[in-house]
Copies of this chain bind each other. A is one copy, B any other.
């Protein structure tokens, strides 16, 4: 198993090196924890710097050394100072240094004597999921879906439970069912507050409708699902529009189609019904070790979808002062889009 993991890490490193070479980059500086995890198996808890080159190396903070030694497939050195890393890069005759788009300004400035260029080599590599990665995402989704059914939101609403309690119990159920942590802070928004796409669970008894956007991680890989529990004809009417946009967008997902084209399918349907200005975010995003990865299903993103990408489809209509409805599922890109999981649409 350890050998197989090492092979996968070597495979990714080789692909990334090829992309760096094509752009005349000598090496890449990697500080993002999930990128280092993806490439080495080691998940930092403080800070770390991976140098991707022929013989890659990770500089690890002293407090993480024991953990890194036990989990990394890439050689490690104890981090002592930025100066030591810079010295090391010079000894290796590195001039053109690729960096990640989320490298922080303070680190950026430490390395400014090198020729720094943002590279998407790692995020591009992470776009296409392996079978192992897809299986982890499916497993996370199954745990999440099972847990939402066990929670039984309608009974919680009848019992007058508060938003935070429900969010918390859902987190408990996901862990009891075998997940790690939540993929992100659970959204449990009821009544008028559901018109905020990202509200925080309140100490307030559940009103209606109840919008639940949630997910869990299985071996580091995220799930992401939204269901809105409906209580009135008006809510059902709006939900039908969102569901039509959701279903047609899923039908539009397939290898060869651009991300922005899928967004357009959902957006056009909602606009036809006169709610175009109430759909205030993009149609979806990719996910994996991170809850938001590239590409994004937005009008801006022209990335062509490829087999084994995993994306969310999550149209919504938000009526300020009234309520919001969102329906979200995850889709595996293939010749046609394959829905992940089988949670009923209307609960």
Q: What is the interface of chain A, defined by CB distance below 8 A to chain B?
A: 45-46, 62-67, 99-106, 108-109, 116, 118, 164-165, 168, 171-172, 175, 180-181, 185, 195-200, 280-281, 318, 320
Contact = CB atoms under 8 A, between A and B. Distances in A.
Contact of A46 (B45, B168, B185, B198): B198
A281 B62 contact: yes
A171 B185 CA distance: 13
Contacts of A118: 105-106, 109
Contact of A104 (B46, B101, B171, B318): B101
Nearest to A316: B63
Nearest to A104: B102
15 contacts: A45-B197, A46-B281, A63-B197, A65-B280, A66-B195, A66-B196, A100-B105, A102-B104, A102-B105, A103-B105, A105-B105, A106-B118, A109-B118, A164-B175, A168-B175
Contacts of A116: 105
A116 B199 CA distance: 34
Nearest to A195: B66
Given A105-B118, A108-B108, A168-B171, 9 more contacts: A63-B198, A66-B195, A66-B318, A66-B320, A67-B196, A101-B104, A106-B118, A164-B175, A181-B185
Contacts of A64: 198
Task: Report which residue of A63, A65, A198 has the largest number of chain B beta carbons within 10 angstroms of its beta carbon.
Answer: A63
Chain A contact residues: helix, strand, loop or mixed = mixed
Q: How many copies does the complex hold?
A: 2
Nearest to A292: B46
Given A62-B281, A196-B67, A198-B64, A103 B102 contact: no
Contacts of A100: 105
A85 to B, nearest CB: 16
Contact of A45 (B165, B172, B198): B198
A320 B69 CA distance: 12
Nearest to A101: B106
A45 B171 CA distance: 20
A11 B224 CA distance: 41
A212 B103 CA distance: 31
Nearest to A100: B105
Contacts of A200: 180-181
Contacts of A66: 195-196, 318, 320
The 10 closest A-B pairs by CB, nearest first: A45-B198, A101-B106, A103-B105, A102-B104, A63-B281, A62-B280, A63-B280, A63-B197, A105-B108, A66-B320
A66 B197 CA distance: 10
A76 B283 CA distance: 25
B181 A172 contact: no
Contacts of A99: 105
Nearest to A44: B198
Nearest to A277: B62
A200 to B, nearest CB: 8
Contacts of A180: 200
A304 to B, nearest CB: 21
Nearest to A282: B63
A102 B118 CA distance: 16
A104 B103 contact: yes
